[in-house]
Copies of this chain bind each other. A is one copy, B any other.
Amino acid sequence: MDSAQLDQFIHGKRVTFEGSKSSTREFARHLDASDPLASFRKEFLIPSKADLKDPHPEAKPVEKCNDPSDPCIYFCGNSLGLQPKNTQTLIAEELRIWATRGVQGHFNHPLSRPWVSAPEEVNTHMANVVGALPEEVSVMGTLTANIHTLLASFYKPEVTKKGRYKIIIEGKAFPSDHYAVESQIEWHGLDPKDALVTIFPEGDRKVLTTDQICRVIDENASTTAVLWLSGVQYYTGQAFDIKAITRHAQNKGILVGWDLAHAVGNILLELHEWGVDFAAWCTYKYLSSGPGGIAGIFVHEKHASPERHRLAGWWGHDKASRFTMDNVFRPMPGAAGYQMSNPSILDIAALLSSLSLYSKATMSAIRTKSVQMTGYLDYLLHSQFEPYDPKPFEIITPQNPASRGAQLSLIFREGLMMQVFDGLQERGIIVDERKPDVIRAAPLPLYNTFEEVWDFVQALKEAIDDASKGG
Contacts and interface: CB of A to CB of B under 8 A. Distances in A.
A389 B469 CA distance: 95
A416 to B, nearest CB: 20
A58 B105 CA distance: 11
Contacts of A48: 100
A5 interface: no
A57 B110 contact: yes
Contacts of A142: 141, 340-344
A91 B95 contact: yes
A135 to B, nearest CB: 20
Contacts of A52: 100-101, 104
A365 B53 CA distance: 44
Interface string A426-451: 00001010110000000000000000
A226 B55 CA distance: 51
Contacts of A152: 148, 187
A241 interface: no
Contact of A179 (B149, B182, B327, B350): B327
Interface in A86-106: 87-88, 91-106
A95 B88 contact: yes
B310 A183 contact: yes
Interface in A46-81: 47-48, 51-52, 54-59, 62, 65-66, 72, 74, 76, 79-80
A346 B311 CA distance: 26
A72 B400 CA distance: 63
A139 to B, nearest CB: 11
A180 interface: yes
Contacts of A291: 94, 98, 105-106, 115, 342, 344-345
Given A92-B88, A292-B342, A346-B91, A145 B65 contact: no
Contact of A290 (B47, B313, B346): B346
B101 A51 contact: yes
B144 A315 contact: yes
A314 interface: yes
B344 A344 contact: yes
A320 interface: no
Interface string A131-148: 000000000011111001
What is the interface residue range for chain A against chain B?
35 or more
Interface string A371-392: 0000000000000000000000
B341 A143 contact: yes
A175 to B, nearest CB: 5
A341 B145 contact: yes
A111 interface: yes
A312 B185 CA distance: 11
A314 B176 contact: yes
Nearest to A331: B179
A276 to B, nearest CB: 22
B100 A66 contact: yes
Contacts of A59: 110
A183 B312 contact: yes
Contacts of A62: 96
Contacts of A290: 95, 98, 344-346
Given A52-B101, A142-B341, A282-B341, 14 more contacts: A45-B99, A79-B103, A80-B102, A87-B95, A91-B91, A145-B145, A148-B152, A148-B311, A152-B187, A173-B327, A180-B312, A182-B312, A186-B309, A346-B347
28 contacts: A48-B100, A55-B110, A57-B96, A57-B99, A57-B110, A58-B93, A58-B110, A62-B96, A65-B99, A74-B102, A106-B291, A115-B292, A141-B141, A141-B142, A141-B341, A142-B341, A148-B340, A176-B315, A176-B340, A180-B311, A183-B310, A290-B344, A291-B344, A291-B345, A292-B343, A292-B347, A294-B344, A344-B347
